[in-house]
Structure 1
Amino acid sequence: SPERLANIAEVVPVVKLVNTLIASAVEERASDIHIEPDEDAVRVRIRVDGLLREAVTLPKPLQSAVISRVKILSDLDIADSRVPKDGRFRFTVEDREVDLRVSTFPTIHGENVVLRLLDKSVGLMRLEDLGFSEEMLAEYRRAIARPHGLLLVTGPTGSGKTTTLYATLAILNTPDKNIITIENPVEYHLAQVRQSQVNPKAGLTFASGLRSILRQDPDIIMVGEIRDLETAQTAVQAALTGHLVLTTLHTNDAVGAITRLVDMGVEPFLIASSVVGVLAQRLVRTICPRCKQPYAASPQLRALLGIHEGKGGLTFYRGKGCQYCRDSGYRGRVGIFEFLTISDRLRELVLPKAAATELKRAALGEGMRDLRIDGILKATRGLTSIEEVLRVTQADGG
């Protein structure tokens, strides 16, 4: 608890303080710890279920000791605080092994430190547990069962793309397949999968790594992210020459991934013939099971959501807030998805570089369920709140 941390900060050596900070963040299911020096104190915040919240404020005199301790753990030079640094270390909390990636950044009040927690015990999730509807899961499984093609997973940073890719590889990982990855960095270790990570200093980039992988007789290739034309073209070529290639992009929705490849400079006919499907996703917080309450949607809310049909009331749910969810009303997260299958009609539209709105209209006409609709359906089932769905789909203009 914050009180416990504040008390410890006053009396104990810094080693114990840092250990307690990490242990309590793990206990709270945090994904990140932020150690943020201000003018007269050091604020510590943790990110839980995608949102930051304050954990504790430490006295300013502890600043250099706490930051030095984290830098020692991650093998960084404690004397140099003028340039950003990256490191990592392992930490054990009650028999759970946690990997921490550390990033420092010099600010006017001292080094800002962010620790990303990768809990090995939580680790890999199964595709069935990510939040797919049954129909969409079946559609997605059909796409990944293809012997070759390009499968894109898209969404902003922190929307669960890596988790989805790892869950996908776990299904594809059979003794008759050779799977090779190039990642930035490798987050979880997959048995019997050749995993590598980019090392730009040594000249190993996504593009050069992908070219080398093609000489390793792969069946399935996972590329962490497509950032440039060179990587995009190599991935498309790999998909067209008999490999299944899985990768990610940062776009708001599924059709946006297609237009992004066009904007990068990939020839539309190559996109049309290589892409087998695009999965767009977001993470929404799930309502706390211990304080969940139903309520009827107001006419204003129904109008906002564009739900006019049906005479009956529409029920949504919200968490009242309790000890179990720290009064937030939420605990844990689940994915909302849209899956774009590249049909013949869509291929015809990709060739003349049709606009995203036109592609989306065609996809919806063919029965694609978009992110917001998937979210609303999850809200009516009581998995998440309508506020969460609106929060993560607002930017999509849908």
Structure 2
Amino acid sequence: MDFTRLDNKNTDLDNPVFSDVFTEYIDLENPEHADGGFNEQDFANKVAASVNHNASDLHLCTGDHPVLRIDGELKTFTHWPRVNANWLSGLSRHLLSEVQQRQLQQSGQVDCACTTSAGQRLRANVFQQQQGRSIAFRVISATSPSLNELDVPPIINQLIEQENGLILITGATGSGKTTTLSAMISAMNQKQARHIITLEDPIEFLHSSKTCLIQQRELGRHTDSFSSALTGALRQDPDIILLGELRDPESIRLALTAAETGHLVLATLHTRTAAQAIDRLVDIFPVAEKTAIQAQLAASLRAVITQKLCHKVGGGRIAVFEILTQTTAASHLIREGKTYQLHSVIQTGGQWGMQTFEQSIAQRQKQGILADQNVSQLI
């Protein structure tokens, strides 16, 4: 795909965002727009507006006005025309391969990613709903941010030096997990000489090999499943394996095996605390296997980095972190299944790089980054 980006005339949020962008009337009867009225330039307008207003997401839903998520809040822009069903179908055909179009027909939804001609990266989920088709776009930074730009705790810079083991990055949907993970890969790619294989669904941030050899694989395009790709990765001489998400028992088993056999494995989970992350990995297995999985986690888990985004003073959002690192006490609790006691270990584990959300928020407030409000409102 090759979308042409148009620049906004201004970025005053007091004005309707989409009225600030030049558009041309789309005549559905014009043969030039025979593909359901879809027009690449019109789509580029919406992408440009989203990027220029620092939106994290763009929602295009049949029959509705476009909606942006800015600093975590949805904003509907009624000055832009409602999304036409034929136009959205045309956009879908431009976004999706034939295989993905069949998947959409069969399952009612499909993930994909694209890059505009201006280098803007987008992740998309195309799906059917009551009113017709919808597409939810996640706006991805053109380049991966650095760990310094994200202002992450210093322990994360130490964790990327690990030779082996499992590091989990967890948090709710939209909490910035992929961004943090990408920044970690970028940091490795500046100063380490290691072979990194990523298994993603879909590929979001694009990485070029610098000091590291980086090979990115996408579910549905380069492999049929995470488990088969992970099995293959173990035969491809990797030093580091990045898994977009640990989804099923087979992937978890293979990830733990890789971590135990000399590889560093980075993976994400949708959990809100370190304890929940460990419980999620263990509880997916039958009772007969739980003890063995707990023992593997106790031995191989190097850290759980859990994050959420909070509003900054002056606009924008920044991550706060709960961090659990591997210590004798933490490993013992994981092995014994006493994850409910991990919070106490984190509270007192500052010398090993650990911190609670409360401690992270207090530090951000001391720096003047977060608004002065009750911590309980932020966690």
TM-score where L is the length of structure 1: 0.75
Residue 153, structure 1, aligned to residue 174, structure 2:
no
Aligned to 2:309: 283
1:179 pairs with 161, 174, 196, which one?
Answer: 196
Deviations 1:122-181 (A, max 9, x none): x2111122122xxx31x2333332211111111111111111111112222356311111
Deviations 1:37-79 (A, max 9, x none): 45xxx2211112232211235556x6235324423542579x9
Alpha-carbon distance in structure 2 between the residues aligned to 1:224 and 1:4: 33
Aligned to 1:5: 18
Residues 58, 142 of structure 1: alpha-carbon distance in 2 compared, 3 angstrom cutoff: closer
Aligned to 2:7: none
Aligned to 1:190: 207
Contact 1:153–1:280 (Cα < 8 Å) also in 2? yes
Residue 340, structure 1, aligned to residue 324, structure 2:
yes
Query: Which deviates more, 153-162 or 377-386?
Result: 377-386
Alpha-carbon distance in structure 2 between the residues aligned to 1:179 and 1:130: 22
Residue 358, structure 1, aligned to residue 371, structure 2:
no
5+ residue gaps, structure 1: 289-329, 394-398
Aligned to 1:214: 234
Contact 1:131–1:336 (Cα < 8 Å) also in 2? no
Deviations 1:273-315 (A, max 9, x none): 1011111111222221xxxxxxxxxxxxxxxxxxxxxxxxxxx
1:52 pairs with 58, 74, 83, which one?
Answer: 74
SS at match of 1:361: helix
Alpha-carbon distance in structure 2 between the residues aligned to 1:76 and 1:226: 25
Alpha-carbon distance in structure 2 between the residues aligned to 1:176 and 1:52: 42
Report percent identity of matched pairs.
29
SS at match of 1:359: helix
Query: Which deviates more, 13-22 or 333-342?
Result: 13-22
Alpha-carbon distance in structure 2 between the residues aligned to 1:257 and 1:85: 26
Shift, 1:28, TM fit = 0.7
Residues 4, 27 of structure 1: alpha-carbon distance in 2 compared, 3 angstrom cutoff: closer
Alpha-carbon distance in structure 1 between the residues aligned to 2:279 and 2:298: 11
Alpha-carbon distance in structure 2 between the residues aligned to 1:236 and 1:376: 34
Alpha-carbon distance in structure 1 between the residues aligned to 2:192 and 2:241: 15
Contact 2:23–2:42 (Cα < 8 Å) also in 1? no
Alpha-carbon distance in structure 1 between the residues aligned to 2:320 and 2:140: 22
Alpha-carbon distance in structure 2 between the residues aligned to 1:389 and 1:36: 36
Aligned to 1:20: 45
Aligned to 2:30: none
Residues 70, 387 of structure 1: alpha-carbon distance in 2 compared, 3 angstrom cutoff: farther
Alpha-carbon distance in structure 1 between the residues aligned to 2:79 and 2:62: 10
Aligned to 1:233: 253
Aligned to 1:33: 58
Aligned to 2:273: 253
Q: Once superposed, what is the RMSD of the aligned Cα atoms?
A: 3.0
| Deviation beyond 6 Å, 4+ runs, structure 1 | 7-11, 79-82
The one-letter code of the counterpart of 1:359 is L
Q: How many residues align?
A: 335
Contact 2:240–2:264 (Cα < 8 Å) also in 1? yes
1:371 pairs with 357, 361, 375, which one?
Answer: 357
The one-letter code of the counterpart of 2:233 is I
Residues 161, 239 of structure 1: alpha-carbon distance in 2 compared, 3 angstrom cutoff: same
Higher share in strand? 1
SS at match of 1:351: helix
